[in-house]
Amino acid sequence: MSSVLVVGGTSGIGLEFARMRAGRGDEVVLTGRDGHRADTIAKEFGARGTALDLGRPGETAAALADIGRVDHLVLAGVSRDDNKVTEYDIDAALRLVTLKLVGYTEVVHTLTSRMHDDSAIVLFGGQAKERPYPGATTVATVNAGVRGLMNTLAVELAPIRVNAVHPGVVGDSPYWQAKPEKVLATLRTETPTGRLATMADVVDAVDFLLRNGSVNAVELSVDGGWLLG
């Protein structure tokens, strides 16, 4: 049985990963900004939920004080930022940059002493870094930053393994499910597999990155070959 912490586990891919691991018998803690809501969601499948706001890194140590040993750490939290450089919204940009780059790093810093040589970490980026769309200014920047973060953590924390997953458009995730079918259909035609990645595909990839003892400092794209479409 592994001890698993999923940061940003109340929704979407993080939630599906937490549910899968709890179903496998692991001890799972998931986080969201509202601790009561996170715990209510987690209890549905035998996990525990707690409050953590990645946008307030100075509060992370206190928020995670009751977390014990961590075998597998998944950093999936995100806030959406539709930002064009021509209409740059500095506050929105600062929120996402803080959340993913400083927030993810501070979670790792806080938990280092609770990890061990066989622990593993997965950071969530995304393919907007390779195939940006109008409004992706901050998202693309931050996703590219995840690569640097992964590399430096893999060196600094060795032998703890640190990998990153970069989903393309995940068609059944809450964010994309809310989009018009026409948008999704166009994206499907641009994807060599003829289908969009699913949350189950990404969960499977994250699980692989955490379990395989020789996969380290790898950026795994889960996008059906979208960049070639």
Ligand X SMILES: NC(=O)c1ccc[n+]([C@@H]2O[C@H](COP(=O)([O-])OP(=O)(O)OC[C@H]3O[C@@H](n4cnc5c(N)ncnc54)[C@H](OP(=O)(O)O)[C@@H]3O)[C@@H](O)[C@H]2O)c1
Rounded Cα–Cα distance for residues 75 and 81 (Å)? 18
Residue positions counted in the chain: 229
Contact 216, 154 (CB under 8 A): yes
If one asks whether residue 12 binds ligand X (CB under 6 A), the answer comes out as: yes
Q: Give the C-alpha separation, 124 to 102, whole Å.
A: 14
Q: Do 226 and 168 touch, CB atoms closer than 8 A?
A: yes
Segment interacting with ligand X (CB under 6 A) among 62-70, 82-90, 107-115, 164-172: 164-172
* Measured CA angle at 128 (ends 123, 132), to 5 deg: 160
Q: Does 224 bind ligand X (CB under 6 A)?
A: no
Q: Which of residues 4, 5, 13, 205 is near ligand X by CB under 6 A?
A: 13
Any idea what DSSP says for residue 130?
A: T
Over the window 33 to 62, marking each residue x when it contacts ligand X by CB under 6 A and - when it does not, the resulting string is: xx-----------------xxxx-------
| Binding-site member from 32, 106, 121, 129 for ligand X (CB under 6 A) | 32
* Nearest distance from C-beta of residue 86 to ligand X, angstroms: 23
Where do contacts with ligand X occur on this chain (CB under 6 A)? 8-14, 32-34, 52-55, 76-79, 99, 124, 126, 167, 169-170, 173-176
